[in-house]
Amino acid sequence: MASRLHPIKVERFDVTARTNTDPKGIERPVERYRVLPCGLYMGRTADHRQFDYLESWLLPSVRLRVSIFHFRPGFERDQDRYLDVGEFWRDGDVWHSRDHYLDLVVRTGRGTEVEDVDELFAAVAAGVLDTDDAERAVATALTAVDGIAAHGHDVDAWLASRGMPLEWRD
């Protein structure tokens, strides 16, 4: 499968300013941030044609971003959770993310798929992502797939078992 190489996606989450700067550099207002010892929750509206609200948890210790996309009618996808593999860190009230290409799509109770392996290989081949980061990304994805599968393909149950009880909007 051929892949178009894109730069590493980086984002900024400013809790004090209540903004999220997306990978294209667009600063968006955030409705809700919540900081817990395990990570950062963000909930914000989205001006995307396919979804109108985005919820995400940045979880540095497991190197994952867990998201729920609230799709607009006609654009629904067969997924409950979308996970990005990468690096996530905090600098005071500003959090950062650096995506490492691999993604997991979870259909709660039914299955978990790893996506964008081709993008990971293309990034390494082009020198955009080093082999150490790529190895960590693969190890992270495999650990997550194992844990999620062991909990009935339920991301929230797996993370709760690791001391990270995630809460989502109603």
On whether residue 56 sits in a domain, the answer given is: yes
CATH code at position 102: 2.40.380.10
Length of the chain measured in residues: 170
Phi, psi of 93 (to 5 degrees): -90, 5
Which tens digits make up the pLDDT trace of 87-100? 999 999 999 999 99
Low-confidence spans in the chain with pLDDT less than 70: 1-3, 170
The residues pairing with 64 across neighbouring beta strands, listed in sequence order, are: 59, 85
The parent domain of residue 59 ranges over 10-161
Q: How far is it, in rounded angstroms, from Cα 81 to Cα 113?
A: 11
State residue 78's pLDDT score: 77
Percent of the chain with pLDDT over 90: 83
Q: What was the pLDDT predicted at 129?
A: 96
3 part of a folded domain: no
